[in-house]
């Protein structure tokens, strides 16, 4: 493919490489915050139970579905345009958080708690089964209810406004909303875990369940609470994902869920700031790979190699830091 | 026996019982017997809208044309299979289909990537397949006597797009993306090759499996500012891509292959994708015959026909014509005879006159360039025809 090289060698290319840098950075950050929000669900559960909740990708997408259902009903009643958008968005996010949180708690109660004493692999398989089960339940419900597979988020017009920073860089209002909402939630969670009594209890259960229960902590309750918080974060991420990328289907959650799990491992699974850092690093890696690979290699490697590139970097990082970027904070369990 | 042993014996027993089940319920031949027409198309998943259209188009034709076969003493039945747009599911279904000796013809598939491996299975038993929608060249270029299609080919659909882009739109630069599937990449490569021949500069050629977040792909496109962006793929990826690209400020004209040809394209893409061009081998609903088909379809199923519903109808009509020829005098049909007979049919229907060449392509196929003219999915069938070309299928490559 000689022609591609000719196209890539044009003198404007260096300018172009530098020119798109801020935009790519922005795209990557946005994606990264999305991953970070989902990754929290994986990492919180792991921190407390040392168990990977593979059903979290569906908990996440349920939030998105609850969001789209509410927005579509508002639109049908004709009040979507008249209500102030921050109110709508906040309400939809809260509903998504509630639904996903409740779902996560019930999954734990039904599918994980009876297996808590079983060998590690058993609840893991239960979680994978739960994930498939939920995917098809969502598919069933949506096809009975709307006879649709792909659902589209109704646009909130004020969120579609784009702010032009320079001629090549612009940012949409919804991206800003996603970033701000993610930052607020991450900060809130951090404060909750580190500065409140509940947070102390969560950390105590994570460190040693037996000792925590001797200190008068209701371990089951704290575990439920952990699922509630992780699930709620996932639900909020689901709504934000829908608002940002607009198209969802019952299987949409799987890939972002897998990436977020990766982000959690990259940051050091079980570690909350680690999940945030891991998410952002993975988001940036992906965005830079997708935008730059083809430009830098003259078209030999295109955007389709973004995951290979991102995951190669991940493997390298894990070779040198097996416990993840912030992994040393993970405490050994007694 | 210990409990595990008992359990495994039980499991094997259950598996055996399941495997034997179909034998027990074999069809009892009555009168002249049953002729089944199977469809294979995605009835669930992201492309279900198009797959459902194939099933319903076939159903309509079966009900309309089965009269003569029934008079001759045969029962005619439609058996729809869901291939989920997945090659493995398609092949598994194909094995069930060839095992059912009453199935005489398959109408399907939607996806070339599913049709190619599945038709390898049909070929084992010379079961004829007529495809309403598979445009990949390999579908017929294998030269199988049982594989036919009533639609055009990618290696022609690509050039049609290129002809339109260079000749009518007069673009100077183009950015080409595809979805890395047999279909999407095939048509994108054919498009690119032809466009280059016409002197248009290709400033990017990439594949992606991404379905939600196209930001990092769009950023370089926006910076390079091409006159045209082409997406070789299906609407469930193409629509969000075009939507995000337009929202991000890409000013290029958009063009895609017939994978964009579904009302879901505007359902997903909304206002900003109005004006997108797509090439298709599916006849627009504007001709009188197509209009009549559309009305009958809507009356029966309560919705407008999706693209390829009409082609499925035509394919079924051809299959039934061939079946009538084979069963003349009350003979029971064989799959070989039906396959041979399909090649001899000359059918004049709403997509023009169809006559198959020696590898199963229509001797002359029409190709259309359409432009999305409304963001209302109900009005998809009213999209404007921007250009029409009738092109003969290329001869088989040796």
Q: Are strands B346-349 and B352-355 parallel, antiparallel or unpaired?
A: antiparallel
B→A contacts (Cβ < 8 Å), by residue, are: 44-46, 48-49, 180, 196, 201-213, 215-217, 219-220, 222-224, 236, 239-240, 243-244, 247-249, 264, 267-268, 270
Does A262 reside within a domain?
A: yes
Is B359 strand, coil or helix? coil
- In the prediction, which pLDDT does A226 show? 94
Does B8 reside within a domain?
A: no
Does A27 reside within a domain?
A: no
Rg (CA), chain A: 21
Examine the pLDDT at B24 and tell me if it is beyond 70: no
More confident residue, A17 or B185: B185
Peptide bond into A54 cis (omega under 30): no
The mean per-residue pLDDT over the stretch A195-221 comes to: 92
* Cβ within 8 Å, pair B222-A168: yes
Examine the pLDDT at A136 and tell me if it is beyond 60: yes
Share of chain B above pLDDT 70, in %: 91
- Dihedral angle of Cα A199, A205, A207, A211, to the nearest 10 degrees: 130
Examine the pLDDT at A3 and tell me if it is beyond 80: no
Does A95 reside within a domain?
A: yes
Confidence of residue B396 (pLDDT cuts 50, 70, 90): low
Would the CA dihedral through B284, B287, B289, B295 be positive or negative?
positive
Distance (Å, whole) CA B127 – CA A26: 55
More confident residue, B173 or A271: B173
A-interface mutation test, from B43, B47, B199, B216, most A Cβ less than 10 A away: B216
Examine the pLDDT at B201 and tell me if it is beyond 50: yes
Planar angle of CA A167, A172, A177, nearest 5 degrees = 145
- B90 and B193 co-located in one domain: no
The mean per-residue pLDDT over the stretch A180-186 comes to: 89
- Judge whether B230 and B255 are in contact, CB under 8 Å: yes
Is B47 strand, coil or helix? coil
Query: Residue B261 is part of which domain span?
Result: 155-280+368-392
Q: How many distinct structural domains can be found in chain A?
A: 1
Q: For tokens 């993975």, what's the residue?
A: A282
* Cβ within 8 Å, pair A24-B249: no
Neighbouring C-alpha atoms within 13 Å toward the C-beta of A282: 35
- Judge whether B287 and B372 are in contact, CB under 8 Å: no
User: Using a CB-CB distance cutoff of 8 angstroms, which residues of chain B are in contact with residue A172?
Assistant: 247-248
- Dihedral angle of Cα B103, B296, B276, A170, to the nearest 10 degrees: -90
Directed axis angle between helix A219-245 and helix A85-107, to 10°? 140
Does A17 reside within a domain?
A: no
Distance (Å, whole) CA A237 – CA A60: 7
- B379 and B349 co-located in one domain: no
Chain A residue at shortest CA distance from B245: A245
Does A107 reside within a domain?
A: yes
Query: Residue A165 is part of which domain span?
Result: 41-270
Query: Six-digit token pair at A214?
Result: 């001797």
- B40 and B135 co-located in one domain: yes
Cβ burial A158-175 (10 Å sphere, 16+ → b, else e): ebeeeeeeeebbbbbbbb
Does B6 reside within a domain?
A: no
Closest residue to A152, CB basis, from B212, B215, B268: B268
Query: Six-digit token pair at A192?
Result: 């909750």
Does B65 reside within a domain?
A: yes
Share of chain B above pLDDT 90, in %: 61
User: Helices H, strands E: what count in chain A?
Assistant: 13, 4
pLDDT digits (tens, 9 = 90+) for B222-270: 988 999 999 999 999 999 999 999 988 899 999 999 889 888 899 999 9
Does B227 reside within a domain?
A: yes
Does A221 reside within a domain?
A: yes
- B271 and B383 co-located in one domain: yes
Please tell me the distance in Å from A308's CA to the nearest CA on chain B: 12
DSSP letters, A63-81, are HHHHHHHHHHHHHHHT-TT
Would the CA dihedral through B308, B314, B317, B321 be positive or negative?
negative
- B164 and B214 co-located in one domain: yes
Q: Are strands B173-178 and B103-108 parallel, antiparallel or unpaired?
A: unpaired
Helices (H), A50-172: 56-77, 85-107, 121-145
Least confident of A87-91, A171-175, A188-192: A171-175
Global ipTM:
0.85
DSSP-assigned beta bridge partners for residue B277 = B255, B371
Closest residue to B213, CB basis, from A31, A149, A299: A31
Does A25 reside within a domain?
A: no
* Cβ within 8 Å, pair B236-A150: yes
Does B118 reside within a domain?
A: yes
E strand intervals along B140-239: 147-149, 173-178, 201-207, 228-232
- B379 and B261 co-located in one domain: yes
Phi, psi of A171 (to 5 degrees): -135, 140
- B131 and B215 co-located in one domain: no
Q: How many distinct structural domains can be found in chain B?
A: 2
A-interface mutation test, from B46, B51, B220, B244, most A Cβ less than 10 A away: B220
Does B22 reside within a domain?
A: no
Confidence of residue B25 (pLDDT cuts 50, 70, 90): very low
pLDDT digits (tens, 9 = 90+) for B316-372: 999 999 999 999 878 889 999 999 999 999 998 887 788 999 899 988 887 889 999
Distance (Å, whole) CA B5 – CA B344: 59
- B312 and B274 co-located in one domain: no
- Judge whether B252 and B227 are in contact, CB under 8 Å: yes
Does A93 reside within a domain?
A: yes
- B206 and B241 co-located in one domain: yes
pLDDT digits (tens, 9 = 90+) for A24-73: 999 999 999 999 999 999 999 998 988 899 999 999 999 999 999 999 99
Q: Exposed, middle or buried, B143 (CB in 10 Å: 0-12/13-18/19+)?
A: exposed
Q: How many C-beta atoms surround the C-beta of residue B2 within 10 A?
A: 6
- CATH number for the domain spanning B122: value is 3.40.50.2300
- B202 and B340 co-located in one domain: no
Does B346 reside within a domain?
A: yes
Distance (Å, whole) CA B166 – CA A38: 45
- In the prediction, which pLDDT does B80 show? 96
- B183 and B263 co-located in one domain: yes
| Average pLDDT for chain A | 87
Q: Is A191 on the interface with B (CB under 8 A)?
A: no
| Average pLDDT for chain B | 87
Does B133 reside within a domain?
A: yes
- B54 and B187 co-located in one domain: no
- Judge whether B257 and B232 are in contact, CB under 8 Å: yes
Query: Residue A158 carries which DSSP code?
Result: G
């Amino acid at each position: 493919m000689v022609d591609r090289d000719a196209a890539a060698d044009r003198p404007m290319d260096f300018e172009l490489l530098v020119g798109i840098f801020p935009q790519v950075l922005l795209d990557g950050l946005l994606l990264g915050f999305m991953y970070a929000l989902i990754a929290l669900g994986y990492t919180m559960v792991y921190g407390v139970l040392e168990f990977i909740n593979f059903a979290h990708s569906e908990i996440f997408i349920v939030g998105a579905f609850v969001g789209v259902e509410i927005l579509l009903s508002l639109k049908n009643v004709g009040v979507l345009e008249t209500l102030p958008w921050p109110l709508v968005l906040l309400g939809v996010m809260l509903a998504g958080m509630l639904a996903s949180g409740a779902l996560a708690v019930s999954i734990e109660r039904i599918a994980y708690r009876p297996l808590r004493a079983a060998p590690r692999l058993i609840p893991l398989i239960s979680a994978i089964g739960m994930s498939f089960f939920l995917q098809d339940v969502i598919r069933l419900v949506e096809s009975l209810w709307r006879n649709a597979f792909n659902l589209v988020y109704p646009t909130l017009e004020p969120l579609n406004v784009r702010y032009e920073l320079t001629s090549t860089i612009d940012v949409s209002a919804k991206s800003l909303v996603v970033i701000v909402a993610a930052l607020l939630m991450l900060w809130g969670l951090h404060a909750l875990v580190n500065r409140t009594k509940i947070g102390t209890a969560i950390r105590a259960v994570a460190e040693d369940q037996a000792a925590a229960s001797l200190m008068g902590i209701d371990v089951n309750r704290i575990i439920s609470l952990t699922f509630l918080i992780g699930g709620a974060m996932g639900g909020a991420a689901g709504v934000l994902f829908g608002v940002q990328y607009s198209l969802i289907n019952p299987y949409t959650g799987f890939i972002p869920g897998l990436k977020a799990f990766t982000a959690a491992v990259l940051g050091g699974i079980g570690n909350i700031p680690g999940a945030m850092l891991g998410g952002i690093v993975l988001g940036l890696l992906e965005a830079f790979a997708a935008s730059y690979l083809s430009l830098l290699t003259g078209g030999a490697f295109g955007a389709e190699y973004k995951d290979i590139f991102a995951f190669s970097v991940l493997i390298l990082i894990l070779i040198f830091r097996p416990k993840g970027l912030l992994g040393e904070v993970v405490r050994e369990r007694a | 026996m210990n409990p595990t042993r008992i359990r495994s014996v039980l499991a094997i027993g259950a598996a055996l019982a399941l495997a034997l089940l179909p034998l027990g319920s074999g069809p009892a031949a009555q009168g002249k017997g049953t002729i089944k027409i199977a469809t294979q198309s995605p009835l669930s998943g992201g492309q279900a809208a198009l797959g459902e259209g194939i099933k319903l188009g076939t159903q309509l034709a079966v009900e309309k044309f089965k009269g003569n076969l029934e008079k001759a003493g045969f029962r005619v039945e439609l058996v729809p299979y869901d291939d989920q747009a997945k090659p493995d599911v398609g092949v598994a279904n194909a094995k069930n289909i060839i095992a059912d000796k009453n199935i005489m013809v398959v109408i399907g598939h939607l996806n070339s990537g599913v049709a190619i491996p599945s038709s390898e299975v049909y070929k084992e038993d010379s079961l004829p397949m007529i495809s309403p929608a598979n445009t990949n060249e390999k579908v017929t270029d294998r030269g199988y006597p049982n594989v036919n299609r009533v639609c055009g080919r990618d290696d022609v659909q690509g050039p049609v797009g290129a002809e339109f882009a260079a000749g009518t739109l007069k673009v100077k630069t183009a950015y080409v993306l595809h979805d890395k599937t047999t279909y999407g990449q095939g048509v994108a490569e054919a498009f690119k090759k032809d466009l280059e021949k016409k002197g248009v500069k290709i400033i990017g050629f990439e594949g992606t499996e991404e379905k939600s977040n196209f930001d990092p792909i769009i950023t370089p496109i926006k910076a390079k500012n091409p006159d045209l962006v082409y997406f070789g793929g299906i609407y469930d990826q193409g629509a969000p891509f075009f939507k995000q690209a337009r929202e991000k400020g890409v000013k290029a004209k958009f063009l895609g292959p017939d994978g964009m040809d579904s009302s879901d394209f505007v359902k997903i893409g909304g206002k900003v994708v109005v004006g997108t061009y797509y090439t298709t081998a599916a006849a627009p609903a504007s001709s009188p015959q197509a209009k009549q088909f559309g009305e009958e379809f809507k009356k029966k199923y309560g919705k407008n026909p999706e693209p390829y519903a009409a082609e499925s109808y035509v394919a079924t009509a051809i299959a039934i014509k061939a079946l009538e020829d084979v069963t003349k005098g009350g003979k029971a049909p064989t799959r070989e005879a039906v396959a041979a007979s399909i090649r001899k049919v000359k059918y004049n229907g709403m997509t023009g006159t169809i006559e198959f060449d020696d590898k199963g392509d229509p001797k002359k196929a029409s190709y259309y360039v359409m432009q999305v003219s409304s963001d209302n999915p109900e009005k998809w069938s009213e999209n404007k025809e921007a250009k029409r070309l009738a092109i003969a299928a290329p001869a088989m490559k040796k």
